Amino acid sequence: FKTIGILTCGGDAPGMNAAIRALVRTALNQQMKVYGIERGFTGLMNADMRRLSSPSVSNIIQRGGTILKSNRCEAFKTAEGRRQATAVLRESGIQALICIGGDGTLTGAHLLALESGIPVIGLPCTIDNDIYGSDDSIGFDTAVNTALGAIDRIRDTALSHERLFLVEVMGRNSGLIATQVGIACGAEMILIPEYPIVLESISNTLASNRKAGRGSSGIIILAEGTEPGLTARLAEQLQQHGEEPRICILGHIQRGGSPTGHDRVLASCMGATAISYLLAGYTDVMVGTLGRELIPAPLGDIIGQRKHDPRLYEMVMMLHK
């Protein structure tokens, strides 16, 4: 390959910049030209791109967000949008594309690879870590640690006032952030979309925990995608049982900030590996992790699949008691 393109798409995640840096430096070492495509698939369709040099990716490994910008692109979901993008790639002489992002980005990458015949490699990069076929994704570790930093502070005030806090963390369809955060902050309870919730049983569990001598303060972690309006309904129900709950929605602070060491190393290794996959002739795959190993995971096998870790959740249920 003489010329490749790189883009970041969908919700940003800490470590995107570290991945861009590794991709650029590894590709330049292989005498490739690298184009950074701005604003994800939207920029690709509009030929919005610039050459990336080695100095252009200096001092970005520690920065959150993405220097290439990102957005969610509806037009790329259509075959016409992808035809337009294919024409741009051909006209610009871009012979292969690396797409960094989550579920929607990897779905777009898969369809583009199939329809255009141009080699495409994906990097799983989403704070939600909900990509089937990879144990880990760039940004997840940082998001978990950002949430934990906030919750440790909330715990101080919860203890002082002997109050319950309902803390909502991100995770559109997945409880993986909530589960990790809940375990690591010692939450009284973790509520996630993967398991049905019976509101009454929550106050019963809390009441029996109190009887068993657990204090009246506490943290309940809820994944954003559990049930629409669940956090407010649960607060209301707890109030009826004599609690004085407070709600805290952590929101987009989980998407920003400097990536952790783990995410910087993961992004660097995945970026370098993506270039080696291209050179080895792979296309339509993502760089996935299986335990500590990096593996090529066919995009066609992972799209539309749900990732879940029931063993982890069984342990969580035991910790509630």
Residues annotated as catalytic are 128
Query: Residue 12, exposed/middle/buried by CB under 10 A (0-12, 13-18, 19+)?
Result: buried
Q: Is the separation of the CB atoms in 47 and 91 below 8 Å?
A: yes
Closest separation in Å from C-beta 181 to ligand F6P: 12
Q: How many helices, marked H, and strands, marked E, lie in the chain?
A: 11, 11
Interaction between residue 224 and ligand F6P (CB under 6 A)? yes
Q: Figure out which of the listed residues 8, 26, 66, 126 binds ligand F6P, where binding follows CB under 6 A.
A: 126
Closest separation in Å from C-beta 237 to ligand F6P: 24
Q: Figure out which of the listed residues 172, 246, 262, 320 binds ligand F6P, where binding follows CB under 6 A.
A: 172
- Per-residue contact track with ligand F6P, 70 to 89, x per CB under 6 A? --x-----------------
- Give dist(CA 316, CA 178) in Å, integer: 11
User: 246 a known binding residue?
Assistant: yes
- DSSP secondary structure code for residue 298 in this structure: E
- Using the minimum distance from each CB to ligand F6P, give the nearer residue, 250 or 299: 250
Interaction between residue 171 and ligand F6P (CB under 6 A)? yes
Per DSSP, the residues of 20-63 read HHHHHHHHHHTT-EEEEETTHHHHHHTT-EEE--SGGGTT-TT-
User: 163 a known binding residue?
Assistant: yes
- Per-residue contact track with ligand F6P, 257 to 296, x per CB under 6 A? ----------------------------------------
Q: Hey, what are 115's tokens? A: 């329809």
- Using the minimum distance from each CB to ligand F6P, give the nearer residue, 163 or 172: 172
User: 72 a known binding residue?
Assistant: yes
Interaction between residue 155 and ligand F6P (CB under 6 A)? no
- Give dist(CA 83, CA 81) in Å, integer: 5
Of 201, 221, 231, 195, the residue nearest 314 (C-alpha): 195
Binding-site residues for ATP, in ranges, read: 11, 72-73, 102-105
